Chain A
């Protein structure tokens, strides 16, 4: 197996709570929790730029969740003015942390 296969995701189930990001300007904090089966995706988004970019933030978060095929979870977003790439990266980090067994 080559190192580029490391990126293959073996499990797509939220195993535990996870968090990513910081409350610094230009960053975002993502908190992720597993939800009961059949509860769907519950999003709680707070952003200083909610009126302008709220729907875009929501779309980006949902796209990242969809990449992993996750269904039942609660995800909160506390945005400090992060750009789209940073929001996506933080969501990805939180998911990766949540789907791996805790050390």
Chain B
């Protein structure tokens, strides 16, 4: 099955009809209808009904429809009971710390006997969650991505959130390693400063280089920048094409070694190039001709 494209996921407050209705036109790979942090405790019931109806009645087009529920111990069960029958594509589970939590949600989804597959996206955003990230990522076949929550994680470890992000570097790395070891996607946290486009660009390029498959957005203006950062550059594309050309040429000539620009190209480099070309094809990026 083709991996879901999740460069961007935008949060939409679950009790604000006008913002939910903007979802289809935002062009994000996923919309997250939020029942957790953006909804006050006394409006949780209203948000459940609104989100449930929105999923049924609004066509979100190509965007994957996710719902962020509350923690199971704080209303998450009521959230699931309300929204699962509407058939979201995925359930985002905040502050997930154990395999047992994921499996409890898996059981509830199975109990709902829905006519479609629903994914579980656990958020890793506590110290305990980080230490258990691999078991969470492996907890269920319904998990096809784990996501890092930088703001809550920073608070949980008693650190100060900085632009440089040194306080979350290790947490981010753990989420990537756990996700890749489990064979699922690694998705990153939000970039909170809406006024700093250059900072968003810099940070997104950095997390892409670290191995993340996408990140969350908190404002529509962030989506395009995130997509640009997750689109291979012309230079990267040219290199990937040349690598595959050289590898094919070496194979035809019976040589085990391909060389591009004087450097040996081995199996991991070829695999990375293949992955990039497939990814570029999905994004409808033009594939250049080889130049070697």
Contacts and interface: CB of A to CB of B under 8 A. Distances in A.
Interface of A: 2-4, 6-7, 20-21, 24-27, 82-86, 88-90, 92-93, 96-97
A60 B164 CA distance: 52
Contacts, number: 64
A14 to B, nearest CB: 16
Contacts of B111: 2-4
Chain A's interface: helix, strand, loop or mixed, by majority? helix
A96 B50 CA distance: 13
Nearest to B16: A24
Given A7-B82, A89-B49, A89-B54, 13 more contacts: A4-B111, A6-B77, A6-B81, A82-B17, A83-B21, A85-B17, A85-B56, A85-B57, A86-B17, A86-B54, A89-B46, A96-B45, A97-B45
B78 interface: yes
A20 B47 CA distance: 10
Interface of B: 16-18, 21, 45-46, 49-50, 52-54, 56-58, 77-78, 80-82, 84-85, 108, 111-112
A86 B85 CA distance: 17
A26 B53 contact: no
A3 B57 CA distance: 23
Contacts of B54: 85-86, 89
A11 to B, nearest CB: 16
A39 B166 CA distance: 66
Given A89-B49, A89-B50, A84 B57 contact: yes
A90 B111 CA distance: 28
Nearest to A25: B18
Contact of B46 (A4, A7, A24, A93): A93
The 9 closest A-B pairs by CB, nearest first: A26-B18, A85-B57, A86-B17, A85-B53, A89-B50, A89-B49, A89-B53, A93-B46, A3-B81
